[in-house]
Amino acid sequence: MHDNIVIIGGGIAGMEAAKALLALGHTPILIESAPTLGGHVGRWHKLFPDLTSARELVARLRSEIVGANIFLGTQVISMNRLADGYSLKLSNGIVINASALLISTGFKLFEADRKEEYGYGVYDRVITNADLEDWFSGADDARIPQQPQTVGFVHCVGSRDLKACNGQCSKVCCATAIKQAIEIKERFPFARVYCFYMDLRLFGKKYEDFYVNAQRDYAVQFIRGRVSEVSETIDGHLQVKAEDTLSGKPLKMQLDLLVLMAGVVRNTAVQELTSMAGLETDSDGFLRSRDNEYAVVESGQPGIFYAGACTGPKTVPETIAEARSAALSIHAYLKTL
């Protein structure tokens, strides 16, 4: 059993960590509850800011971890603390004794229908960022009209919103909205595209360029004001209302398609697992790192490490960096045993 490393969660964090651990001479065990690897990124079409293919990233990672033991469609059903590690029972009946655990269980997209006023699931032409990515990737979506004339993006759906029980910024939605707005404009050059934002948080490398591009080259319009409510008109359009806070006036308009930028919230599906492992939750609802400044990948429990969005919203490069960092931390930790 010595040196068994179990990675729980096969998104890009888990995959990258597995790859790094393989390179360090370990043979990690990767457990993923879904039937495929890749997590949220695997479902995404393109990544900001360079519009690289998300699928290619996942496929590459997949090809680089063939040496790992991978269990798909598998959950951890129980977990016991041992003297020098953990004993895990999986849903397929296998029991693993592990010296180190890496939690890379990621996040959950906010369920947009909980913002009832936006009418996701009630109005015909309201979709989420994830739905749009699916459509970009080729899936059919009857909610998206043939030739939309006007498309709106609502930022911060379920983020920075105490009424949605998530006061945190989801970090990736502003850039995602801009990315999707540009992609929409590329598909429908004559559509008017509006982004309704509270604040634009474009902190990352080249994000600001991305923003200027959207304005200058794609004429995407940014309206500072949160959409208050959405209704359906008699001809099936959407009527949205917001305050145009820069002019201080109420604003309404009709849209052919509304995209809700569902935020990043903690993954409640792994609540049982984390409580079995005795992991604490931070005030933002995500898992608590040993230290939020310099030990983000370490948990309060010996031998349990974190990577990726299980500790809070992260961009792809941040997640990859954390996964590598966690792999190194695990490697160092195993040497101390």
Partner 1 sequence: MILEGKQRIWSEYQKDIPDDHWYYVRSCIRQNFFPASERMFTHIVKDVLGKDLYETPHHTTCGGIAYHCDTIPQETAMTIVARQFALMTEAGYENYCPSCITSFGNYAEILETWREYPELEARIREDLWKACRREFKKPRYLAHSSDLIFHWRGEIARLAKKRLMDVRTGQPLRIVEHIGCHYAKMFPSKGVGGAEYPYVLAGMVESWGGQVIDYPERRHCCGYGFRQYHVKANRGYSLSNTYKKFESMEPYHPDAIVTNCPGCPYFLDRWQYVIASQTGKTYGENGHGIPVLTYEELAGLVLGYDPWDLGLQLHQVAVEPLLDKMGVEYDPKAKYLGLNKEDLMRPELPTQIKCY
Partner 2 sequence: MTDFGFKLSKSSTIDLSRVELDRFEELCRQEPGAKVCIGCGSCTASCPAGRLSGMSVRKVLLGLQRGQKVNDMLQCCMLCGKCTMVCPRGINTRNLILTICRIYD
Q: Tell me, residue by residue from 213 to 232, as one string, x for binding to partner 1 by CB under 8 A and - for no binding.
A: ----------------x-xx
Stretch that binds partner 2, among 47-55, 139-147, 160-168, 219-227 (CB under 8 A): 219-227
Q: Does 278 bind partner 1 (CB under 8 A)?
A: no
Query: Which residues, 6 or more positions from 6, have their beta carbon under 8 angstroms from its beta carbon?
Result: 28, 29, 31, 86, 88, 96, 98, 100, 101, 102
Residues 133-172 that bind partner 2 (CB under 8 A): 150
Residues 57-76 that bind partner 2 (CB under 8 A): none
- Paired with 52 in beta bridges are 47
Using CB under 8 A, pick the residue from 3, 64, 111, 124 that binds partner 1. 124
Using CB under 8 A, pick the residue from 95, 122, 219, 269 that binds partner 1. 122
- Which lies closer to partner 1 via its Cβ, residue 15 or residue 112? 112
Q: Does 141 bind partner 1 (CB under 8 A)?
A: no
Q: In what order do the strands lie in the sheet with 29-31?
A: 69-71, 29-31, 5-8, 100-103, 304-306
Q: Does 234 bind partner 1 (CB under 8 A)?
A: yes
- Which lies closer to partner 1 via its Cβ, residue 56 or residue 116? 116
Q: Does 36 bind partner 2 (CB under 8 A)?
A: no
Q: Does 113 bind partner 1 (CB under 8 A)?
A: yes
Q: CA–CA separation, 335 vs 6, rounded Å?
A: 16
91 binds, among partner 1, partner 2, none (CB under 5 to 8 A by kind): none
Using CB under 8 A, pick the residue from 52, 92, 254, 281 that binds partner 2. 254
Q: Dump strand ranges (E) for 29-125.
A: 29-31, 46-47, 52-53, 69-71, 76-82, 85-90, 95-98, 100-103, 107-109
Q: Dump strand ranges (E) for the chain.
A: 5-8, 29-31, 46-47, 52-53, 69-71, 76-82, 85-90, 95-98, 100-103, 107-109, 126-128, 150-157, 192-197, 221-224, 227-232, 238-244, 249-255, 257-262, 264-266, 304-306
Chain residues binding partner 2 by CB under 8 A are 150, 194, 212, 215-216, 219, 221-222, 224, 244, 246-247, 249-254
Chain residues binding partner 1 by CB under 8 A are 113, 116-117, 119-124, 229, 231-234, 239
